[in-house]
Amino acid sequence: MIKRYVFGEPIGTDAVICEISISTDEINELRYSDGSFSYDMSEDTKVYGLGEANRGINKRGYRYVSFCSDEPSHTEDKESLYGAHNFIIIEDKEIFGVFFDNPGKVTFDIGYEDINKIVITPKYPDMNVYIVNGDDILDIVRQFRKLIGKSYVAPKWAFGFGQCRWSYETSDRIDEVIKGYEENDMLISSVYMDIDYMERYKDFTVSDERFPNFKEFVSKVRNEGIRLVPIIDAGVKIENGYDVYEEGVNNNYFVKDKDGNDYVTAVWPGYTHFPDFLNKEARQWFGDKYKILLDEGIEGFWNDMNEPAIFYSKNKLEEIKKSLSEIDIENDDDKLLDIKWKFNELANNGDDYNAMYHNIDGKVVNHDRVHNLYGYNMSRAAGEAFEKLSPDKKILMFSRSSYIGMHRYSGIWMGDNCSWWSHILLNLKMLPSLNMCGFLYIGADVGGFGSNATEDLVMRWMALGVFTPLFRNHSALGTRNQECYQFTRTKDFKNIIDVRYRLLPFIYDEYMKAVQNDDMMFRPLAFEYSEDKMAIEIEDQLMLGENVMIAPVYTQNVTGRYVYLPENMTFVKFVKDGEIVTEKLDKGVHYVNVELNEVPLFIREGKKIKVVKHSVITDNNLRKEIMECSIEYKEEDFEYIG
């Protein structure tokens, strides 16, 4: 049962697809006063949800701020990441879900100021609030997911393994990467193109110099079984003669300042304007631009910098310039320090968000009120265009920034994590929370984006990545190379990638089931074994579909880990040379041995999962079809384990 309550004058977000009549009762589940919603927690209260957020699966014990942020350092103290997913489930003696459909900043204090209190405070009070009651957690999730509509379905090839780096800046570099994988007999389905493929970072351009005959190149790579996936950034470079810029200016498609001038910020290309994705016509216009690359043979994209990320703005630079001109650099110590802070605060400055305006159905709306809808509508622009431009062929789309509702058009990746062991665990913990909010095509930068990766870390991370719908190794400029062939134990990497392709039919099935049934592909043990005191506290193991539990190794210098089995299970290990080892284990705590080159999983008693036989996956005649994920397996190609 879902109840809707209206506060003030909500701005339409299109997060919800069902019409729910407005309830005139008081909200029973939460207290509302002075613009905040509160709830008194007991010792046993648990709080789940918030999608792509920091810290645990149980969100209790910290403060989270829904405000899409370009936050490249995911340390424990960070309150905002790239997404804003305002759905939580509170479980105590009673249980209910609540969705705050509010596109401005919303603060979720979940036992931060007062360890026993939840206080939720929106910056702007205008919103719809939905309270979802149900039989149990999963029932509530499914009802909520019905409310927000079916999740985006990625093409099958996007379930293959992908390699990315900032940047493979020429076609030769991409060839080199493909060769690296091929020479080491490793399967790969996609190579990603980061910003340097463009001409001076201009969206929908391809550098002729670095990618001559691009269409031919795309097709050559495609013939090898691999798709190229370019990045698209939110900001449009200001450059005379650049058609996207000129069309945007001429048609008033860019975000404005208070006087109606196109707002000037800077991102990778230098000075840019932001397309007003909240304006239907601008959205359509930008979406249609993807055709330029679809026509070159491209079948997938990743949308970036769409919080939107701002490096600096013209306004803010003017302020600094003015302060500098007024200063005596020999004597004004305090003022100089002030200027230093001003430089530090240039990026993603709230003043800039406050100074930008959208045109929503003819109404001028300040950006800060609708900040969290920006990335959502960039990907929606693409998604709506793909329905028109490519009705018969699914196009891959995932985004960095998001809001609930975007899950119907796009997947997400978890942004700029680091090559830290703790981020393998963070990756795991975000999976079920994102599923609760409708995001099913998800994954993190495997191996870590920032910082230098080590061979063991990448290998352990890959052993988690084999289970996530998006399975992409990505790393930042200036960090150590982390393509799987760059390390010494290439055979082991090959083996782990083989496991992904052997599991792919199973993973794809579980994903499609979750889409069709509005279900969670990844579930915390607490959702499945809610009566089991030990299971409900476990946050480093997850259920994958109905029959499998995963428990990756995420610490360095270990040869295994402790797992808790909430029931009897078969411990399965994919070991070197394509062997599968199984062992029946009883309910309880076990230390399981997992070598660096092994992929573990657990299967519930009496259940089996299907896995492609190693001999099939390593058949060279099938290599291309396997990489394209277009292969039609026959029943005899599978073995059943459990």
Based on CB atoms, which residue is closest to ligand GLC, 166 or 564? 166
Rounded to 5°, angle at Cα 101 from 100 and 104: 95
Site membership for ligand GLC, residue 235 (CB under 6 A): no
Based on CB atoms, which residue is closest to ligand GLC, 362 or 478? 478
How many other C-beta atoms can be found within 10 angstroms of the C-beta atom of residue 411? 26
How are beta strands 62-66 and 106-110 bridged, if at all?
antiparallel
Q: What's the rounded Cα separation, in Å, for the pair 297 and 230?
A: 11
Question: How near is the Cβ of 178 to ligand GLC at its closest, in Å?
Answer: 19
Which residue in 52, 79, 194, 510 binds ligand GLC (CB under 6 A)? 194
Gap between the terminal Cα atoms of the chain = 38
Site membership for ligand GLC, residue 195 (CB under 6 A): yes
Based on CB atoms, which residue is closest to ligand GLC, 122 or 375? 375
* Two tokens, residue 392: 């018969």
Question: How near is the Cβ of 479 to ligand GLC at its closest, in Å?
Answer: 11
Site membership for ligand GLC, residue 415 (CB under 6 A): yes
Question: How near is the Cβ of 70 to ligand GLC at its closest, in Å?
Answer: 8
Based on CB atoms, which residue is closest to ligand GLC, 476 or 631? 476
Rg (CA), the chain: 25
Based on CB atoms, which residue is closest to ligand GLC, 4 or 227? 227
Site membership for ligand GLC, residue 230 (CB under 6 A): no
How many other C-beta atoms can be found within 10 angstroms of the C-beta atom of residue 391? 8
Q: Which of 452, 504, 497, 462 is nearest to 181 (CA)?
A: 497
With left for phi above 0 and alpha for psi between -120 and 50, is residue 490 left, alpha or beta?
Answer: alpha
Q: What's the rounded Cα separation, in Å, for the pair 388 and 34?
A: 46
Question: How near is the Cβ of 180 to ligand GLC at its closest, in Å?
Answer: 19
Based on CB atoms, which residue is closest to ligand GLC, 229 or 526? 229
Question: How near is the Cβ of 230 to ligand GLC at its closest, in Å?
Answer: 11
Question: How near is the Cβ of 332 to ligand GLC at its closest, in Å?
Answer: 36
Based on CB atoms, which residue is closest to ligand GLC, 195 or 520? 195
* Contact present, 172 and 178 (Cβ < 8 Å): no
String marking each residue 4-43 x if it binds ligand GLC according to CB under 6 A: ----------------------------------------
Question: How near is the Cβ of 458 to ligand GLC at its closest, in Å?
Answer: 17
Q: What's the rounded Cα separation, in Å, for the pair 463 and 304?
A: 26
Using CA atoms, how far residue 286 sits from 41, 68, 276, 292, 505, in Å, is: 46, 21, 9, 11, 35
Residues of span 153-182 touching ligand GLC by CB under 6 A: 166
* Contact present, 141 and 125 (Cβ < 8 Å): no
* Contact present, 152 and 126 (Cβ < 8 Å): no
Q: How far, in whole angstroms, is CA 289 from its chain's centroid?
A: 23
Based on CB atoms, which residue is closest to ligand GLC, 69 or 377? 69
Tokens 């990907």 sit at which residue? 379
* Contact present, 559 and 594 (Cβ < 8 Å): yes
Question: How near is the Cβ of 399 to ligand GLC at its closest, in Å?
Answer: 11
Based on CB atoms, which residue is closest to ligand GLC, 472 or 523? 472
Q: What's the rounded Cα separation, in Å, for the pair 620 and 216?
A: 25
Question: Which residue of the chain is nearest ligand GLC when measured via CB?
Answer: 166
308: preceding bond cis by omega (within 30 degrees): yes
Site membership for ligand GLC, residue 307 (CB under 6 A): no
Question: How near is the Cβ of 149 to ligand GLC at its closest, in Å?
Answer: 27
Q: What's the rounded Cα separation, in Å, for the pair 267 and 272?
A: 7
Question: How near is the Cβ of 390 to ligand GLC at its closest, in Å?
Answer: 24
Question: How near is the Cβ of 164 to ligand GLC at its closest, in Å?
Answer: 7
Based on CB atoms, which residue is closest to ligand GLC, 375 or 642? 375
16, HSE (Cβ side, Cα atoms, 13 Å):
26
Site membership for ligand GLC, residue 450 (CB under 6 A): no
Bridge partners of 633? none
No. of helices (H) and no. of strands (E), the chain: 16, 37
Q: What's the rounded Cα separation, in Å, for the pair 395 and 299?
A: 5
Q: In this structure, which amino acid lies at residue 139?
A: D
Based on CB atoms, which residue is closest to ligand GLC, 194 or 528? 194
167: preceding bond cis by omega (within 30 degrees): yes
Based on CB atoms, which residue is closest to ligand GLC, 365 or 476? 476
* Contact present, 38 and 119 (Cβ < 8 Å): yes
Size of the site for ligand GLC (CB under 6 A): 8
Question: How near is the Cβ of 416 to ligand GLC at its closest, in Å?
Answer: 5
Site membership for ligand GLC, residue 515 (CB under 6 A): no
Based on CB atoms, which residue is closest to ligand GLC, 186 or 412? 412
Question: How near is the Cβ of 448 to ligand GLC at its closest, in Å?
Answer: 12
Residues of span 128-157 touching ligand GLC by CB under 6 A: none
Site membership for ligand GLC, residue 52 (CB under 6 A): no
Based on CB atoms, which residue is closest to ligand GLC, 11 or 266? 266
Bridge partners of 638? 612
Site membership for ligand GLC, residue 71 (CB under 6 A): no
Mapped onto helix, strand or coil, the DSSP state of residue 408 is helix
**How long a stretch of residues is the chain?**
642
Rounded to 5°, angle at Cα 114 from 110 and 120: 40
Which residue in 85, 400, 494, 500 binds ligand GLC (CB under 6 A)? 400
String marking each residue 257-296 x if it binds ligand GLC according to CB under 6 A: ----------------------------------------
Q: What's the rounded Cα separation, in Å, for the pair 311 and 201?
A: 14
* Two tokens, residue 556: 């360095």
Question: How near is the Cβ of 268 to ligand GLC at its closest, in Å?
Answer: 7
* Two tokens, residue 111: 């036992």
Question: How near is the Cβ of 351 to ligand GLC at its closest, in Å?
Answer: 23
Site membership for ligand GLC, residue 416 (CB under 6 A): yes
Site membership for ligand GLC, residue 304 (CB under 6 A): yes
Based on CB atoms, which residue is closest to ligand GLC, 268 or 506? 268
> Where along the sequence are the contacts to ligand GLC (CB under 6 A)?
166, 194-195, 231, 304, 400, 415-416
